[in-house]
DNA sequence: CCTATTTCAGTGTTACTGAGATCG
DNA sequence: CCGATCTCAGTATCACTGAAATAG
């Protein structure tokens, strides 16, 4: 019988060094940290993204909000329903274009965004804990270049 | 009417600079590149990971293979069924422990792994295209530190 | 006519959970 | 009796698709 009782088995080395693998591991860790942290505040990532979009760009239609936050139109509807039920956003018809709703963040929504922002900052801190401040800046720059190359393709 | 006809709307800046956001974008790009490339070879990421594990560690039980490749026990079953149907792996009962199957990679499986390995290397190249060789090495080192910190927690 | 917006219902993928059967 | 393995069935999540209703 081979020693398969060990609690950890290392992955194939040809996987371990590949950026695609490392990114998927980093994403898994990042997602877990975020989901756990949001859950404590009774929220989800979509809620944070939508509130942040409303705070930064002001009252918006659902379609433009979806484009800015990269959330699908269907999921925007569902997430805004939840935010509206909690009184964090307000829906009103756009008098200038009656296909649209104008979504506005409420004072309670701004408070919640503040809370979620602190949660998100705490997650960045835990995620980058192994890196020095200088390395964090380098890491963010390199990641940004990889991601922006995607956008410009 | 606001100029919402633009094809791109930028995300909230408080999101754009956060490592968690950048990582999720990088992962989205990486996944898309991998999935598209694997599809051309009639394969999926699970297939590559399982074949790579078998090639590196030799004949293995499904449980240890799952631990090494970070694939859930249920998904290992399904993916190995597909690989066995294609003749890329072989299942045989373990005479020393009759709960186990011994999974072996076949010559056809080794050929397929070779093909998939080239595909995966091509994806790394496209993903890191915007970085110089030096920056690629730095990027991989930083990512590795972030991910290993996770493993040691 | 065609396009844009909002909404609902449903799909597909990935990762996971629970439970049963077998075995050490 | 407990724990490990393999398997199947089902769930949760996220991103997305299709289609209808309304409006520019």
* Ordered per-residue pLDDT tens for chain A, 153 residues: 334 344 467 899 999 899 999 999 999 999 999 999 999 899 999 999 999 999 999 999 999 999 999 999 999 999 999 999 999 999 999 999 999 999 999 999 999 999 999 999 999 999 999 999 999 999 999 999 999 877 666
Indicate whether B9 pLDDT > 90: no
pLDDT for the residue A10: 84
How many CB atoms are located within 10 Å of the residue B105 CB?
A: 22
Which burial class, exposed, middle or buried, applies to A29 when counting CB atoms under 10 A from its CB (0-12, 13-18, 19+)? buried
Q: Is the CB of B63 under 7 A from strand C?
A: no
Cα–Cα distance for residue pair B28/A147, rounded to 1 Å = 10
C23 C1' – A1 CA distance, angstroms?
14
Task: Check CB contact of A33 with chain B, cutoff 8 Å.
Answer: yes
D8 C1' – B81 CA distance, angstroms?
13
Three-class DSSP category at B152: coil
For B34-49, letters b (16+ CB in 10 Å) and e give: beebbeeeebbbbbbb
Indicate whether B137 pLDDT > 50: yes
pLDDT for the residue A5: 41
Condensed to tens digits (0 to 9), the pLDDT of residues B39-81 reads 989 999 999 999 999 999 999 999 999 999 999 999 999 999 9
Cα–Cα distance for residue pair A69/A51, rounded to 1 Å = 10
Residue nearest to nucleotide C8 (CA to C1'): A74
pLDDT for the residue A101: 97
pLDDT for the residue B6: 39
* Total-model pTM: 0.90
């Amino acid at each position: 019988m081979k020693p398969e009782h060990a609690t950890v088995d290392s992955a194939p080395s040809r996987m371990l060094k590949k950026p695609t693998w490392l990114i998927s591991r980093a994403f898994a860790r990042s997602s877990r940290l975020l989901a756990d942290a949001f859950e404590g505040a009774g929220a989800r990532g979509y809620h944070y993204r939508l509130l942040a979009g409303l705070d930064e760009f002001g009252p918006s239609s659902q379609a433009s909000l979806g484009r800015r936050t990269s959330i699908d139109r269907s999921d925007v509807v569902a997430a805004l329903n939840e935010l509206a039920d909690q009184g964090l956003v307000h829906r009103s018809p756009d008098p200038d274009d009656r296909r649209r709703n104008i979504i506005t963040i409420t004072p309670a929504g701004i408070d919640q965004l503040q809370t979620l922002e602190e949660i998100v900052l705490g997650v960045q801190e835990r995620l980058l804990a192994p890196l020095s401040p200088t390395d964090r800046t380098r890491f963010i720059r390199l990641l940004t270049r990889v991601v922006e190359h995607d956008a410009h393709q």
